Amino acid sequence: MAEKKYLIKQVSIFSENKPGRLAAIASALEEAGVNILAFSIAEANGFGVVRALVNKPDLAHKTLTDLGFMVSFTDVIAVAMRDEPGGLFEIARILGEAGINIEYSYAYSGKDGAVLILRVDQVEEGVEKILAAGGTLLDVSLFQ
């Protein structure tokens, strides 16, 4: 069983894809004192899904549902990745060879290196395989 300390609670917010909706989400989170650490937006048929890592996921969920947004949680993992050619390949190869599908991902890069956020179909097995291959996963406490 994978260590729960690597399972990060991602907030997914479902909204109409129209001007001002992202601003409304960001404003509500700002007013609640919730910091957005990373996010991505996907669009389909006039609706959007904002996937976000925040420092206070439970407060974000309550704040946004109180405003009428549909919000859910998803467990994701954050993998430290080499910020150079081949960094993504290393992680994708480990998971692919283990038969673990990457459902979606997004990444960010900063002064401390690159981080790949992954939603995989077998999250606990994904954690185990990455650790076994010498990969570095970020602890959930870094996102709180």
On whether residue 2 sits in a domain, the answer given is no
pLDDT tens for 76-135 read: 999 999 888 999 999 999 999 999 999 999 998 877 778 899 999 998 899 999 999 999
Do 90 and 68 fall into the same domain?
A: no
User: Is residue 25 classed as helix, strand or coil in its secondary structure?
Assistant: helix
Residue that is last in its domain, among 74, 105, 130: 74
CA distances from 108 to 67, 80, 128, 129 (A): 29, 10, 23, 22
**Distance (Å, rounded) from C-alpha 13 to C-alpha 76?**
15
pLDDT reading at 12 higher than 60: yes
What SS3 state is found at 101? coil
What's the pLDDT score for residue 128? 92
- Domain residues for the domain of 123 are 76-142
Question: pLDDT-derived band of residue 2, with 50, 70 and 90 as boundaries?
Answer: low
Q: Of 26, 57, 74, which closes a domain?
A: 74
Sign of CA dihedral 73, 75, 76, 77: positive
Give the C-alpha distances (Å, rounded to integers) separating 5 from 42, 55, 91, 137, 139: 27, 15, 19, 10, 6
- How many domains does the chain fold into? 2
pLDDT tens-digit map of 40-89: 999 888 888 999 999 999 999 999 999 999 999 999 999 999 888 999 99
Q: Which of 49, 74, 99 is the last residue of a domain?
A: 74
Concatenate the DSSP letters of all residues of 62-80 into one string: HHHHHTT-EEEEEEEEEEE
